[in-house]
């Protein structure tokens, strides 16, 4: 029996589901099982955070950065691509040492368009 299973067995904790991997898919699955079905879910991951490669953290200066490199989300939605480009332009023009949390970025207000079926 593995060390994890022995530790769980001795803890007295009971779980309905075990999710291996705390990246996008594992995190969303665990959240949905817990919030929509009332399940007790244990997530295990080799890293000490959720989000997989899309994890952000602050550096010594308090600036948020992508620990594992840029997050690339493929889309052909023109308005989303334009918002990302505008955001990058604002970031390049931001003075050194400026607080990125105090920006007036509005790229997160994405227009929802109905799908053509």
Q: pLDDT tens digits, residue range 41-100?
A: 999 999 988 888 888 889 999 998 888 887 776 666 666 667 777 777 777 776 766 665
pLDDT at 77: 65
Nearest alpha carbon to residue 40 among 66, 3, 14 = 14
pTM: 0.52
Nearest alpha carbon to residue 30 among 18, 45, 47, 12 = 18
């Amino acid at each position: 029996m593995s060390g994890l299973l022995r530790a769980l067995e001795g803890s007295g904790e009971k779980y309905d589901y075990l999710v291996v991997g705390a990246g996008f898919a594992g995190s969303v699955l665990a959240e949905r099982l817990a919030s929509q079905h009332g399940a007790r879910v244990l997530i295990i991951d080799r890293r000490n955070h959720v989000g997989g490669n899309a994890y952000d953290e602050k550096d010594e200066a308090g600036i948020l950065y992508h620990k594992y490199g840029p997050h690339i989300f493929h889309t052909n939605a023109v308005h989303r691509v334009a918002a990302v480009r505008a955001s990058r332009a604002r970031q390049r023009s931001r003075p050194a040492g400026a607080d990125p949390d105090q920006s007036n970025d509005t790229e997160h207000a994405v227009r929802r368009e109905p799908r053509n079926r």
